[in-house]
Amino acid sequence: MLVKQLSVGMMGVCCYIVSCEQTKEAVIIDPGGDEDIILEYCTANGLQVVYIINTHGHPDHVCGNARLQQATGAKIVMHSEDVTYFGDQRIKDYFSSLGMSESPPVDLAVVDGDVITFGKEQFTVLHTPGHTPGGMCLYSPPHCFTGDTLFVGAVGRSDFPGGSMRQMIDGIKSKLMTLPADTIVWPGHGYGGLQSTIGRESRTNPYLDL
């Protein structure tokens, strides 16, 4: 498994292009802008993008979905709870004030424990609500892509509609902190750093004492 991390868009989203070395099939996680840069990397490396996966449905993480789907034909993947939540017109109206593009319809709605396969690689879906109702992480040993659930030394915001700090902390402790200590944490923003490990976060992340 090859992992390419890019900081994209005006919100500095950590977008990931994850590919199978043998088959060249790839997924794009959280395309938050700068679609040309994402596509250039995929083309230069001969990648066939089969899925665009959103760790959650906030506009800064999905605003590149339409352009990338049009260019690659990839299927858009999101947790079923966020498919429902962000389909509500009141929620659409609230987030439209950010001025970012909505995602096209989701092609594949997943739930906790589902497996997403690309080439000879796969992710297991870990449902970690709290930032959004359908927030999820993607686990493939030794990698875990944590979206806006877990950052380096911090956790995601819970003050947006649909957020819950208690849910988020509970999910981090039950789903993430039980992973092997050497699991690599790839966060959704680089606020405290661009990479960490589960072991480091378990020892040093102050939010986990809540």
Q: How many domains does the chain have?
A: 1
pLDDT per residue as tens digits for the range 146-164: 999 999 999 999 998 899 9
- pLDDT tier at 100 (50, 70, 90 boundaries)? low
For the cut 70, the answer to whether the pLDDT of residue 98 exceeds it is no
| pLDDT computed for residue 97 by the predictor | 74
- Rounded to whole angstroms, the Cα distance separating 137 from 173 reads 13
Domain assignment of residue 29, given as a range? 2-209
| pLDDT computed for residue 95 by the predictor | 77
- Is this prediction's pTM over 0.85? yes
pLDDT per residue as tens digits for the range 16-53: 999 999 999 999 999 999 999 999 999 999 999 999 99
| pLDDT computed for residue 210 by the predictor | 66
Which residue is it, tokens 């493939």? 140
Structure tokens at 84: 């429902």
Q: CATH code at 44?
A: 3.60.15.10
For the cut 70, the answer to whether the pLDDT of residue 141 exceeds it is yes
Q: Which helix (H) or strand (E) element contains residue 4?
A: strand 2-8
Structure tokens at 102: 């909505």
For the cut 90, the answer to whether the pLDDT of residue 93 exceeds it is no
For the cut 90, the answer to whether the pLDDT of residue 191 exceeds it is yes
